Homo-oligomer: A and B are copies of this chain.
Amino acid sequence: MRDVQSGPSDVALAIDRVGVKDLAIPLAVRDRAKGQQHTVAQVDLSVDLPAEFKGTHMSRFLEALRDMDTTLDIESCRCLLLDLRHRLQAQSSHLCFSFPYFVEQYAPVTASPALMDYACFLRGVLEKDVVRLFLGVTVPVMTVCPCSKAISTEGAHSQRAVVRMEVQCQGMLWLEDLITIGQESGSSPVYALLKREDEKFVTESAFSTPAFVEDVVRNAAIRLSAHSKIKGFRVEVESFESIHNHSAYACIDRLGLDHCS
């Protein structure tokens, strides 16, 4: 049967990335407390394609994914990147797994346990025989507006905000480390389950720690800078302002140009 893909290309241009996008699979990820947890990921896989070939072989991405170790971690990502490069006879390979990650949180006074979910991703790039891995987490927090508190007789507007971090890893980094950094950067963490005593504590604690998006992004950046396993980072904060119909936004980017390829 004819292999059209391996034929010559009409236009002699190299393609940076070609592959599959928006696949969904169940998988396991490493969990600091329990060893591992089950979740579901959305997956993108790609390789480069030299100027002389018409097309890549898309089904091989699916075979590589099917044959990958079912626990997603640094090692299985590294293997998959090498496997993609080999199966597709490519020079470079890229992968990205996006998934919700669940952590048991305890309410601050009653210690009632409940699961919180965090949107995460693990992104990997293999180029010139070097593998670079990037970890991403979105952490919801509460922000209390310092200006509103300072100028109002009582009260202050507060809202849910998200801290989005992407970091280049240097060795093994726990998602929990990034989640903690996010939680510590706002006026208060958010929780799945709060009883009245907890709600009183969270309200008063947040009210005593007002923070603009500018404060939150700096709080996170200073912590990310100080972490020994983090080589570079980008942190964005988006606050869904309760007095407006738009967001307040701040970003500090120390990922460098390294992550663009």
Contact = CB atoms under 8 A, between A and B. Distances in A.
A21 B247 contact: yes
A192 B243 CA distance: 8
Nearest to A45: B249
B15 A217 contact: yes
Contacts of A33: none
B55 A190 contact: no
A103 to B, nearest CB: 11
A241 B66 CA distance: 19
Interface in A42-79: 44, 46, 49, 54-56, 58-59, 62-63, 66
Interface residues of A, number: 106
Contact of A242 (B58, B158, B193): B158
A164 to B, nearest CB: 12
A17 B133 CA distance: 25
Question: Chain A contact residues: over half helix, strand or loop, or mixed?
Answer: mixed
A242 B37 contact: no
B117 A243 contact: no
Contacts of A106: none
Interface stretch (A5-13, A83-91, A123-131, A166-174): A5-13
A19 interface: yes
Contacts of A188: 243
A230 interface: no
Given A144-B155, A192-B62, A243-B194, A218 B13 contact: yes
A145 B3 CA distance: 13
Interface of A: 1-5, 9-11, 13-26, 37-40, 44, 46, 49, 54-56, 58-59, 62-63, 66, 100, 102, 112-117, 140, 142-148, 150-160, 188, 190-197, 199-200, 202-204, 206-207, 212-215, 217-219, 221-222, 238, 240-253, 257, 260
